[in-house]
A and B are shown apart, each in its own frame.
Chain A
Amino acid sequence: MEYSMIHTKQKPPVSSSVLGVIMAIVVELMFFGGLISAFVLAQAGQVEWPPSDQPRLPFWFTFGNMLILLVSAYFMWMAIKNAKEGRKSYALFITLFLGILFFLIQGYEWMRILLFGMETSHSLFTSFFYTIIGLHGFHVFIGLMLLGYVFYKIKQLKEKDNISNYILTVGIFWFFVVALWPVLYYLIYWVR
């Protein structure tokens, strides 16, 4: 149903769910755009950044974690391609697995930083760190839930087009989550 322009059975050029997720990403981009510009402006107004009494962020460790996320995007792309050609593959499962791995490692890192005594209320820097990274983490979490749902859902579907549409929809969202991370990494971990 979702596919057809009603009663003409003509396929719209872009499926409804893909259009929907693209619009959602527009909102997300503006949302993170707001956060990032707030961060950049706040940073520009400080003499010393990050403040010298803060614990250093784990630069290389997170860099490694970023690679995991980027690789997951590659498998997402494979999954989309395979689904389009009607081939079964493990690509979606691998994406999900790598995503969970990223999420867990990120969570572990947070715990370590917290135990180190870096609190949200310490400074503007820590406030932004927890807010922006936390919100990205939240989006990874949503992405994982969606991936899990699609992974479970496509098992019940027969039609090739339908399966491929589900995977494409979730894939676009996942690409967004992945593409955002290097930007945040650059701004928060790298610039100093």
Chain B
Amino acid sequence: MNTHKKHGFWHRYFFSLDHKDIGFQYMLTIFVMVSIGGFFAYVFRMHLAYPEMEVPLFGLVTNKDYNMLITNHGLIMMMWLALGMLLAVAGNYLIPIMIGTDDMAFPKLNKLSYWFFLISVILMISSFFMKRGGFGGGWTMYPPLSVGDFGYNTAYTSFKDRFFTANTFVLLAITFEFIALLMGGINFFVTTLNKRAKGMTLTKMPMIVWMINIASVLFMFSVGPLIAGAFMLLLDINAGTGFYDVYRGGDPLLWEHLFWFFGHPEVYVILLPPLGIIAEIISTNSRKPLYGYKFILNLTLIAAILSMMVWAHHQFVSGIDPRAATIFSIFTIIISLPFAGIILAYIATLWNGDLKINLPMKWAIGAITLFTLIGGFTGLYLGASVFDIYAHDTSFVVAHFHYTLFPTVIFGSFAAFYYWFGKFSGRELNKFWGNVHFWLTFIFFNGFAFPLFLLGLAGQHRRIADYRQFEFLMQDPLPLYRQIATISAVILILSQFIFIFNFFWSLKRGKKVTSDNPWESNTLEWQTASPPPHGNFAVYPEVHHGPYEYNHPDREDDFLPQNKK
């Protein structure tokens, strides 16, 4: 076994090949990105509710600033927070240890993946400081807006002028990030197939391992066309090609297809890991086996395949043939069935359980509740093209995707943090502040996102910097709704500081954990020291049971670790 040596700063934060260290590097980098994304949200929300105000810490928001802020908020949250946290961080921390091995199949590739991610972050941040300002073409980057201020008129600009623009840098950043995530995903997949502990058959793997792997593979299948599209857009900006230029026979709709062919599967790439996290937490904390392990798996695979056939539901008003729209509507509505099945299985898991309502459990239940009742449900309405033609590009859509993304990405990540923090740091997060954090987040998230439904139904278009130009949108009570949303959003953002302080304080000063298996869970990560040593296990485990054997009738303890005979 590897000896446990103390390493210096550079090793820990830059060169280490240990999967846990790389996970930690990803995590810190993502914290930086989220802070930027959150700050942007604060600024433009303030501007929407109080358009004449000079926003504290920013100043007056011009229309151009506004575009830049919402664009980069969306990009950072979707690409760097959601994908990064749920694939890279969760995958790096959890996969090797939960399948009972020492590290990834390719540790060096893993390291390289983080470096690419770091480059992408640097490119992204430098894009804010370009001479012509940050990128403002919307997170979906539709051309010709995303081709930049110069448009397709190349006559008076030099290559240098066009290369050193935010547009170029954002596209490069995304390309680098995707390459990073692909290297990570290949690593997860190969590690899972080839490095499982003895006895860990595929159906004895914890659900989260499955979910991250399915998400990674789905990512691999869907991201190619987007990278192709982004490359073509990059050439349109820098090499004078005209792929998306109508005047030269190109077609801007092509981008929408390539983007959403990836974009819709992406939302499932984002959704699946939190579903896995929730599965771990609710099974352990209701002291019951996960209901329908194989049923959930099959439904997930079906959903993953279907998710590649629904993309055009984002394009119902982009000039799509109504016959095609109907087909995409039908598929979109069908795809909610497997998810309904998965959620039902989760409810069945909780049903009659010996529920332990601790912090991870609160986040997990909060996540499924909000996601199902509001996020998924409104998605069904949007999926029907007849409704969507009215609701498209209004705040209703913004509310829908916040109700899907926030519960999964944010609640899901927090569930994971509160669940696994003790394991990976050896210290406990403060429970009191944890509870305060949960309730503030839960209440003010709803306070922020719910009014957007009402605003959207009243006809409030999204991506408009200043609603004062529309009289009907300034009538009571719409400005009030906007203010409720903004004030809630500000409190929501401020409450996250509680978590940040709790996190870093506990990392250094928190109470040492008293048990290696505080939740009395079965999976392998709980059967080793906290924090796990380099190499994860003192003795490599041999697996005899499935991950969810709680309350086994023939046993005295109500749990049965996977590696116990």
Partner of B231, one of A2, A46, A131: A131
Task: List residues of B (188-247) whose CB comes within 8 Å of A's CBs.
Answer: 189-190, 193-198, 217, 220-229, 231-232, 235, 239-243
B182 contacts A by Cβ under 8 Å: yes
Cβ-defined contact, A29 with B224, below 8 A = yes
Interface size grouping (class) on chain B: 35 or more
| Complex Cα–Cα for A7 and B189 (A) | 20
Pick from A20, A26, A29, A121: contact of B105, CB below 8 A.
A20
Contact with B along A19-34 (1 / 0, CB 8 A): 1100110111111111
**Interfacial chain A residues near B223, Cβ < 8 Å:** 27, 30
Interface: A187 (CB within 8 A): no
Judged by a CB distance under 8 angstroms, whether A191 is at the interface is no
Q: Whose C-beta in chain A lies nearest to the C-beta of B104?
A: A16
Interface status of B154 (Cβ within 8 A of chain A): yes
**Most chain A CB neighbours (cut-off 10 Å) among B195, B241, B261:** B241
Which residues of A in the span 168-192 have a Cβ within 8 Å of any Cβ on B?
A: none
Whether a CB of chain B sits under 8 angstroms from the CB of A124 is yes
Question: Is A35 on the interface with B (CB-CB < 8 A)?
Answer: yes
- In the complex the two chains form, what is the Cα distance from A34 to B261 in whole Å? 9
Inter-subunit contact B186/A20 (CB<8 Å):
yes
Task: Tell me what chain A mostly uses at the interface: helix, strand, loop, or mixed.
Answer: helix
Q: Decide: B189 and A19 in contact? CB cutoff 8 A.
A: yes
Q: Does B71 contact A (CB under 8 A)?
A: no
A32–B251 CA distance with the chains assembled, in angstroms: 19
Number of A-B contacts (CB under 8 A): 122
Instruction: Give the interface segment out of A37-45, A56-64, A148-156, A159-167.
Output: A37-45
B279-307 near A? 1/0 per residue, CB < 8 Å: 00000000000000000000000000000
B189: chain A residues at CB < 8 Å are 19, 23
Number of interface residues of A (CB under 8 A): 39
Are A5 and B195 touching (Cβ within 8 A)? yes
B residues near A89, Cβ cutoff 8 Å: none
Measured CB to CB, the nearest residue on chain B to A24 is B186
Select from chain B the residue with minimum beta-carbon distance to A35: B228
Specify the chain A residue showing the minimal Cβ separation from B178: A27
Taking the closest CB of chain A, its distance from the CB of B188, in whole angstroms, is 10
Residues of A within 8 A of B240 (CB): 119-121
Q: Is the CB of B225 within 8 A of A31?
A: yes
A30-B225, A124-B243, A124-B248 known; A131 and B198 CB under 8 Å? no
- In the complex, the answer to whether B224 meets A31 with C-beta atoms within 8 Å is yes
Docked pose: A32 CA to B232 CA in angstroms: 12
What is the distance, in angstroms, from B307's C-beta to the closest C-beta of chain A?
14
Q: Across the interface, which residues of B come within 8 angstroms of A6, CB to CB?
A: 101-102, 195, 197, 540
Q: How far is the CA of A127 from the CA of B233 in the complex (A)?
A: 12
Judged by a CB distance under 8 angstroms, whether B250 is at the interface is: yes
Please measure, in the bound complex, the distance between the C-alpha atom of A12 and the C-alpha atom of B101, giving whole angstroms: 15
Expressed in whole angstroms, the Cα–Cα distance for A15 and B193 within the complex equals 10
Q: Is the CB of A19 within 8 A of B190?
A: yes
Task: Output the least CB separation between A106 and chain B (Å).
Answer: 19
Q: Is B324 an interface residue (CB 8 A)?
A: no
Q: List 21 A-B contacts (CB under 8 A).
A: A7-B198, A8-B198, A16-B194, A20-B186, A23-B220, A27-B223, A30-B220, A30-B224, A34-B225, A34-B226, A35-B228, A38-B232, A38-B254, A38-B258, A41-B254, A42-B243, A42-B254, A120-B239, A124-B243, A127-B250, A131-B243
Ranked nearest first, the 7 interchain pairs of A and B with the lowest CB-CB distance are: A30-B224, A34-B225, A121-B240, A31-B224, A34-B228, A127-B241, A12-B194
